Structure 1
Amino acid sequence: MKSFVIKTLINAAAIWVAAWIVDGIDISGKDTWQHKTITVLAVAVIFGVVNWLIKPVVKLFSLPLFILTLGLITFVINALMLWLTSWASDKLDLDFHVTGFWPALLGSLIISLVSWGLHLALDDKD
């Protein structure tokens, strides 16, 4: 349980940094600190669920592309997972939007780097 909470908080921080840096990723709605924090935490949970349920299936079906591109297709899959998170957030009336593929690609790179760095800094082993 502790690991899940730490990973969700790390994802929330990484999503917040990506929304701050990338022009096409937006956490809109009320401008209060509390509303945006709750939105980012909810989006982090959705992002975690999408990566846990859907990403392994997509990776399995794209295995030939992994071999062909020497693993670079991972960046595209991560971008699609972020875009799918944006779509699911929209369906749940959360104020998180990714406006296109290129912002999703850049955002997924930033999220990967920030979450990797935070995982190194915070040892999340139970």
Structure 2
Amino acid sequence: MKQFLVHWATTAVALGVTAWVLPGVRISSLAALLVAALALGFVNAVIKPLLLLLTLPFTVLTLGLFYFVVNGLSFAFAAWLVPGFGVRSFWSAILGALLVGVVSWFIGSFRQAEPEQHRHVDVRHIKRVGPPPPP
């Protein structure tokens, strides 16, 4: 639950920065920002994988560039779902999705990794070096 809240807050901050920087992305209130971050997470978790699967031939043909279009469509769909969150144009949606991703990555780079993420590295280290000497 903690990780969900941290991820949600990170997305909300990234979305707020995006709305502040890009004139084509509009958020009317703090409540709209928080609901939009939740909707964006839902769209990215549920709808975007289906959209990626359906558009896979276009993504392959364009050597991955169509992925930006899918990101923009997901961003625009989240804006359509949430009152108070708007996107002016398709290009604003693509740039907004890109900026949310970059800002989220930037914020996430300052967070410490959870211990579960380091467990595999520790196990490999123990196997390679051996167990610690007895006290």
With structure 2 as the length reference, what TM-score do the two structures score?
0.79
Corresponding position of 1:98: 87
Corresponding position of 1:76: 69
Corresponding position of 1:20: 20
**Identical pairs, percent:** 37
Structure 1 residues 124 and 51, CA gap change in structure 2 (3 angstroms): farther
2:31 maps to which of 24, 33, 38:
38
Q: Where does structure 1 lack aligned partners over 5 or more consecutive residues?
A: 29-35
- Tell me: higher relative CO, structure 1 or 2? Use CA pairs within 8 A at least 6 residues apart: 1
CA deviation after TM superposition for structure 1 residue 124, in Å: 5.5
Contact 1:14 1:114 in 2 (8 A): yes
Aligned residues: 115
Q: Deviations over 1:20-77 (max 9, x none)?
A: 011111112xxxxxxx322211110011001111000001111112211221111111
Q: 1:84, 1:46 → 2: CA distance?
A: 9
Q: 2:12, 2:53 → 1: CA distance?
A: 27
Structure 1 residues 107 and 23, CA gap change in structure 2 (3 angstroms): same
Contact 2:25 2:96 in 1 (8 A): yes
Structure 1 residues 67 and 124, CA gap change in structure 2 (3 angstroms): same
User: How large is the RMSD of aligned CA atoms in angstroms?
Assistant: 1.4
Q: 1:71, 1:124 → 2: CA distance?
A: 29
